[in-house]
Amino acid sequence: MTLESNKTLGGVGAILAAIPGVSVVGIILMLIALKGLSENYNEQGIFKNALYGVIFCIVAGIAAVVVMSGSFLLGGITAPAFGPGSALFFAGGIIIGVVVLFIFYLLGAIFFKKSFDILSVKSGEKMFSTAGLLLLVGAILTIILVGFAVMFVAWILAAVAFFSIQPPTT
């Protein structure tokens, strides 16, 4: 794909990634763009790190659902038999699920930051580094919910960075 089409896919993907409900479509578009950009710049780390970031985020969601579902099911089954103790088990399962989600999501953000840092160096667009840093800070702050707003800003900055990539001078 051409640099121009990768810029467009990446920019639109980053905008969609910021919108709940269609963020999966945005991430897929961004991955396609990052694959193309990694080929344009002959740097596979751009795509590989982003792919690892997506994989960690998927694992985060699956692991959290499994842990929390198990907590709901076992808490519901044991509640009549054990009384208040099962409520602690239920709450513990929820807390463990949130911690697992947080850890894997943080790992995903670290890999996205690596990808954006490499892309920043290769493209000369420094806004990618800023977007990567904000994604990481946002992931850290999700534990207190402020991070979601920070990550929204990060995806918008990433979109601006994609649209701002200049073709290499020959």
**76 falls within a domain:** no
SS (H, E, C) the chain: CCHHHHHHHHHHHHHHHCCCCCHHHHHHHHHHHHHHHHHHCCCCHHHHHHHHHHHHHHHHHHHHHHHHHHHHHHHHHHHHHHCHHHHHHHHHHHHHHHHHHHHHHHHHHHHHHHHHHHHHHHHCCCHHHHHHHHHHHHHHHHHHCCHHHHHHHHHHHHHHHHHHCCCCCC
**35 falls within a domain:** yes
Q: pTM, whole model, 2 decimals?
A: 0.87
**48 falls within a domain:** yes
**140 falls within a domain:** yes
**74 falls within a domain:** no
Query: Domain residues for 159?
Result: 3-61+91-164
Number of domains in the chain: 1
Res 84 pLDDT > 70: no
- 168 versus 106: which is more confidently predicted? 106
Question: Across all residues in the chain, what is the average pLDDT?
Answer: 90
**86 falls within a domain:** no
**102 falls within a domain:** yes
**83 falls within a domain:** no
Tens-place pLDDT, residues 3-37 = 999 999 999 999 999 999 999 999 999 999 999 99
pLDDT of residue 170: 63
Res 83 pLDDT > 70: no
